[in-house]
Amino acid sequence: MDYSWFDLVGNVGVLLMVIAYLLLQLERLSSSAVSYLLLNAAGAVLVIISLMLRFNLSAFLMEAFWLVISLYGLTKLIFSRPKPV
């Protein structure tokens, strides 16, 4: 089995998403925390990059939805913050 740079990129992405989920379960992060959403979005992007070189449709769809949902959460946070006076 070959282990290439894109495998490493994908594994780092998975690690980021697992860390985010672990911190959520340990109640160290809120599901609406910017850091939680960024960890998930970054992880999904890295896994998608790895899938571009060794494609798997079901994994790609999962990561694409993961990324879109994370970006939705980030957008919602950005636009729902009170404006400074």
Could you tell me the mean pLDDT of each successive run of 10 residues in the chain, 85 residues long? Answer: 91 97 97 96 97 94 97 94 73
- Write down the pTM of the prediction: 0.89
Residues 6+ apart with CB under 8 A from 14: 43, 47
- Residue 1, pLDDT score: 75
Residue 57 lies in a domain: yes
Domain membership of residue 63 as a residue range: 5-80
Q: How many domains does the chain have?
A: 1
Place of tokens 């960024």: 38
DSSP character at residue 82: P
Residue 85 lies in a domain: no
Residue 47 lies in a domain: yes
Residue 26 lies in a domain: yes
- Residue 71, pLDDT score: 97
Residue 51 lies in a domain: yes
- Residue 37, pLDDT score: 96
